[in-house]
A = this chain, B = another copy of it.
Amino acid sequence: MTRAVVLVSGGLDSATVLAVARREGYELFAMSFDYGQRHRIELEAAKRVAAAVGVAEHIIIRIDLGRIGGSALTSAEIAVPKGGLIEGIPVTYVPARNTVFLSFALGWAEVLGATDIFIGVNALDYSGYPDCRPEYIEAYERLAAVATRAGVEGVRFRIRAPLIAMSKAEIIRLGYELGVDYSLTHSCYDPDPRGRACGLCDSCRLRLRGFAEAGYVDPLEYV
């Protein structure tokens, strides 16, 4: 059984990616990060989502991206915007986050003998976050080819971003086709102390719009 590493945040995108990778028949190795995110509660969702799909292993790597700062998601000094989606790169961008995540995933993939690394970047993120664009994924794949012993020995790592060209609504429809239980997921950047979604941050707005466009009702509880 071929192995794959899947980056799992606990959000709806990575839950869908897990289901896509399962459909393709991989033995799944889920990886999440406790990186100083203010919505750390997403890690509980990541555990639920990984358990529901039936992964071989799920590891949570603790890293302190807050030490670097520069983002509303890791710094208490920068507020999460609630006023609606804007043009350009939002302050919730975390410098080099996907690059750090993929680097850990690459190391784990090499140790596991996996060649495919799945990541849930998508077309909506594309408009805002630089490390969610196709040219970024391609550049990472070229790096992976020369970065590792496995690569030198001829292994060709693939960075799989199956949602990259899809809208949120398309992702949600695909997820329902594949049996994803979105009640297990968490998307909000700034949940209340009970873990309920704010409904106003960019992540909540994109999620709610996606469910509406897909013709489904979001099963999550909002404030």
- How many residues of chain A have a CB within 8 Å of chain B? 43
Q: Which of A34-62 contact B (CB under 8 A)?
A: 59, 61-62
Main secondary structure of the interface of A (DSSP, over half): helix
From known contacts A70-B107, A70-B111, A110-B70, infer whether A147 and B96 are also in contact, taking CB-CB under 8 Å: yes
Rounded to whole Å, the gap between the CB of A101 and the closest CB of chain B is: 9
| Alpha-carbon distance A61/B142, docked complex (angstroms) | 26
| Alpha-carbon distance A98/B143, docked complex (angstroms) | 12
| Alpha-carbon distance A131/B94, docked complex (angstroms) | 25
Rounded to whole Å, the gap between the CB of A89 and the closest CB of chain B is: 5
| Alpha-carbon distance A35/B81, docked complex (angstroms) | 34
Point out the residue from B67, B98, B131, B148 that lies within 8 Å of A130, measured CB to CB.
Answer: B148
The 9 A-B residue pairs whose C-beta atoms are closest, nearest first, are A96-B107, A70-B111, A95-B107, A95-B110, A99-B103, A100-B103, A139-B143, A96-B106, A103-B103
23 CB-based A-B contacts, threshold 8 Å: A62-B64, A68-B107, A68-B108, A68-B111, A70-B107, A89-B152, A95-B110, A95-B111, A95-B149, A96-B110, A96-B147, A98-B147, A99-B106, A102-B103, A130-B146, A130-B148, A130-B149, A130-B152, A136-B143, A136-B147, A139-B146, A140-B143, A143-B143
